């Protein structure tokens, strides 16, 4: 469980070139918008590619992406379901 979380946070920092460390990302912080990590739609695309490559989960639908790409917790939940 926490392994996935750590790996996911490190992937976020590395792939999206975030100016923070994996430890700085809170589990429930919103990925998009103000008050969150401030990701944009291009980051979302990169994130989907990363999830596919590193976690073997496929998101090929925008409505699924909107439900899953909310916070670290929601992504981990999606990975664990698969």
Partner 1 sequence: MKNNPLDSLPHSYPFRFLDKIIELSDKRGVAIKNVTMNEEFFQGHFKENPIMPGVLIIETMAQLAGLIMNCGKEENKIAYLAQVKNIKFKRPVIPGDQLKISAEIGQDFGSLASFSVAVHIDNNVAAEGELVMAVSKGT
User: Does 41 contact partner 1 by CB under 8 A?
Assistant: yes
Residues 59-78 that bind partner 1 (CB under 8 A): 60, 62, 65
Integer Cα distance of 19 and 65 in angstroms:
24
Integer Cα distance of 33 and 81 in angstroms:
26
Of 20 and 49, CB closest to partner 1: 49
Indicate which single residue of 14, 21, 26, 45 sits in contact with partner 1 (rule: CB under 8 A).
45
What residues make contact with partner 1 under the rule CB under 8 A? 41-42, 44-45, 48-49, 60, 62, 65
């Amino acid at each position: 469980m926490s392994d996935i979380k750590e790996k996911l946070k490190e992937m976020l920092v590395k792939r999206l070139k975030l100016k923070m460390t994996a430890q700085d990302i809170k589990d429930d912080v919103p990925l998009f918008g103000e008050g969150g990590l401030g990701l944009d739609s291009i980051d979302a695309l990169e994130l989907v590619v990363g999830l596919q490559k590193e976690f073997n989960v496929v998101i090929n639908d925008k409505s699924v992406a909107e439900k899953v790409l909310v916070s670290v917790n929601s992504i981990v939940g999606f990975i664990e379901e698969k």
